[in-house]
Amino acid sequence: MIQIDQSADVLTLTINRPDKANSLTGEMLETLADAVAGFDGKALILTGRGKVFSAGADLDAAKAGLAVDPVWERLSSAIAGYQGLSIAALNGTLAGGACGMALACDLRIAVPQAKVFYPVMRLGFLPQPSDPPRLKQLVGPSRAKMILMAGMKVSAPEAQEWGLIDRIVEPDDLMQTAHDLAADCIGANAAHVASIKAMIDA
């Protein structure tokens, strides 16, 4: 249910469970985390199949404990620690715990129909520890509270205005845009890519 396409320079990970709104099981999260942790190329692209990027945790798995499993944090930490350019190519709505992997990426692009929401308050769960500070860094404390505490569903245009999404592109152009954004990194020396990223993130 995770499609892995890897070349020497680019790793594309596609959540491929469109019949279940790309909801995530523990096995899928482990597969994503292992793939990211084991990749040392220059660009990482995360996307989904169908019209939803991910609805977050699979409901049955969440009830069985996945909602509070440390695998979410393991995945977002692997993405945040990746030394190349990471891009979340949001083919549709981003929800719940799946927000963590997108927040950990360097860039987020989305289709116009995408929405972002993280209903942890209503569901009675805490967000993963690194998600609130990453969200706050992108959108500021008040808007982070609107998402995490008031349960606001943010449209793609508003998310772009807030700084949560960097670019809105049509569905047919989504993956080409992701590859275009990664092109300079792909053409550069890996150490140079890592050095520039480290200077920005310092």
Confidence (pLDDT) at 130: 97
pLDDT by residue (tens digit) across 109-161? 999 999 999 999 988 889 999 999 999 999 999 999 999 999 999 999 999 99
pLDDT for res 38 = 96
Kindly state the DSSP code that residue 153 receives in the 8-state scheme.
Answer: P
* Position 59 pLDDT exceeds 90: no
Q: What is the model's pLDDT at position 153?
A: 97
pLDDT tens per residue across span 65-75: 998 899 999 99
- 3-state DSSP call for residue 117? strand
CA distances from 137 to 22, 50, 109, 166 (A): 27, 30, 17, 14
Looking only at the bridges linking them, the beta strands covering 115-117 and 154-155 are antiparallel
pTM for this prediction: 0.97
pLDDT value, residue 124: 86
pLDDT (mean) for 32-42: 97
Taking residue 190's Cβ as centre, other Cβ atoms within 10 Å add up to 15
Pairing outcome for strands 2-6 and 10-15: antiparallel
Helix, coil or strand: residue 18: helix
pLDDT at 30 over 90: yes
pLDDT at 123: 86
Question: Rounded to 5 degrees, what angle do the CA atoms 166, 168, 170 make?
Answer: 150
**pLDDT of 63:** 82
Six token digits for residue 89: 């190519």
Strand-pair category, 2-6 with 167-168: unpaired
The DSSP letter of residue 96 is: G
